[in-house]
Structure 1
Amino acid sequence: MKVALIGLGTTGRIAAEYFHKEQALALVLCRENSQDAGKDLGELLHRPHMGVSVETTENLEEKLNRYKPDILIDFSSPSFLREHLATLARCKVNVVTAVTGYTQMDIKRVKVLARKREIGVVIAPNITLGVNVLLVMAQIAAALQSDYDFQVVDENHRNKKDSPSGTAEKIVAAIKRGLEKSEADNLIPIHSIRAGDITGRHKVLACGKYDQIEITHTAFSRTAYAEGAYKAAQFIYGRKGFYEMKDVYGLGKPNYAEDRLHTDATASLAGFYA
């Protein structure tokens, strides 16, 4: 598996080191007119020579044909895929994008191109295993406690551009799936905090009349995002079609469907406490 990476922010640099350690990194891309163009990755990461070239996205098709990556990992911004997805599809390069801020139209276009051009794409604003477990737990809690008030707290570093985050919006969607059979008002507030260098913390509050449940995921290190990207790359290697991280982690199987949460989850809890 040969990987190209774009996006050398704080998380992208950690991902670059992670993929290099796994001997999978073949190319790093930077924006046009970047001063990093032509350098070895080691120079940017303050490491010894790493043997990985940094190239601009100018004439991207020629560079993809030269380095022949199987997968592109995207830690940049929504604009990259908007501008270059068709080129990646022509070159049969699969994609894992950990970027947030895509519109519904963006996602629809990705799905259409993945199907028509027969490439594989993972859209993963929620790239860690822990967050995906939280999504399942939030949906179960909502299905079992539909009369509770749900709110989401979204904490990230001060430089994160999107607020609320794509992960917070995914959590809200999971809660709403759990509440679908209830008659409750499905308005789920998101409280976003952008401060300091918070790596990432998401909390679900389920508040009843007499008690409260909290489900929290905290990322201690951005290596968790790099590890998630690597698992997604392994998953999408050789695959075609559109996927999310629930597919990568096996959480999109039928037994997680909302219509079984009300029966299976309740039955399991009843058996546990019997």
Structure 2
Amino acid sequence: MKVALIGLGTTGKIVAEFLFQKQVLSLVLCRKNSSAAAGKDLGEVLHRPYMAVPVETTDNLEEKLTKYKPDILIDFSSPAFLREHLTTLARCNVNVVTAVTGYTQMDIRRVKVLARKRKIGVVLAPNITRGVNVTLLMAQIAAILQPDYDFQVIDENHRNKKDSPSGTAEKIAAAIMKGLGTPHGDERQVPIYSIRAGDITGRHRVMACGPYDQIEITHTAFSRKAYAEGAYQAAGFILAKTGLYEMKDVYGFSNYSGERTCEVAESTPAHVYA
């Protein structure tokens, strides 16, 4: 498996090192005309010895994809990259793992249609860590079992995180709404409270409050390596696949039915959003 990476922010640099250690990283991309890293070896950017991984701009992207021939592109940049370059990636038969938040419903529909028509695989992964996906299931189960409780989501992240609430917080709220079902799912909204402070790596809490007690579900990321590990697993999963997937497919959680039995099926194939 050969992987290209775009996005060399705080998390992206950790992802780059992780992928390099796994011996799968062949190319790093950066935004054209806006990065001092362009034209350098990744080792120089990360203040490491020579790594033999070039950092290239997205100018003439098709030419660079043809030259380096990555199987997968992992995206830790912004929604603008996929909006602009998804067609080029499809033309070059490059599958995608995007850990970016902030996509609109129109963006997601476009990705779904293009993945199906061009026969490429895309993992849409705003919630890229395994722990967050366990939290999603736990939140949904709590809503199924305690539909009369008041649910809230607290979303804590570092001060430079642009989206508020985060895509993960919105996914948790959606999981709760699914657990509540109809008519509650149509009538009740789950409040999300966002905190942006310091260098919080990522913490999401679900509070479910009844008249006499409270349930709290918390996921805390101690290290950004959790995102790198999730991205690497997603890349291995999407290799040679087609269609649109989520991280619940990568982790094998997609068989959860959401019914009141709270059982996870074991034999049904992973659901494909295509």
TM bin, normalised by shorter chain, reads over 0.9
Look up the SS of the partner of 2:138 in the other structure: helix
Partner of 1:21: 21
TM-score by length of 2: 0.94
CA positional deviation for 1:264 = 4.3
Look up the SS of the partner of 1:263 in the other structure: coil
CA distance in 2, matches of 1:4, 1:232: 13
Look up the SS of the partner of 2:29 in the other structure: strand
Partner of 2:228: 226
Partner of 1:110: 111
CA positional deviation for 1:182 = 5.3
Q: After superposition, give the CA deviation of every residue in 1:37-65 in whole Å (9 maximum; x if it has no partner).
A: 11000000000000000000000000000
What are the equivalent positions in structure 2 for 1:59-138 lying under 5 Å apart? 59-138=60-139
Contact 1:126 1:132 in 2 (8 A): yes
CA distance in 2, matches of 1:195, 1:35: 27
Structure 2 CA distance for partners of 1:135 and 1:249, relative to 1, 3 Å: same
CA positional deviation for 1:242 = 0.4
Q: Which runs of 5+ in 2 are unaligned?
A: 264-274
Q: After superposition, give the CA deviation of every residue in 1:194-243 in whole Å (9 maximum; x if it has no partner).
A: 00000000000000000000000000000000000000000001111100
Contact 1:151 1:205 in 2 (8 A): yes
Q: Which runs of 5+ in 1 are unaligned?
A: 266-274
CA distance in 2, matches of 1:111, 1:98: 16
| Superposition CA RMSD, Å | 1.0
Between stretches 110-119 and 29-38, larger displacement belongs to 29-38
Partner of 2:205: 203
Aligned residues between the structures: 261
CA distance in 2, matches of 1:60, 1:36: 16
What are the equivalent positions in structure 2 for 1:155-174 lying under 5 Å apart? 155-174=156-175
CA distance in 2, matches of 1:263, 1:182: 19
Identity %: 75
Look up the SS of the partner of 1:154 in the other structure: strand
Answer 1 or 2: which has greater helix percent. Answer: 1
CA positional deviation for 1:36 = 1.4
CA distance in 2, matches of 1:65, 1:59: 10
CA distance in 2, matches of 1:263, 1:16: 42
CA positional deviation for 1:183 = 4.0
Contact 1:114 1:121 in 2 (8 A): yes
CA positional deviation for 1:181 = 4.0
Partner of 2:10: 10
Look up the SS of the partner of 2:261 in the other structure: helix
CA positional deviation for 1:179 = 0.3
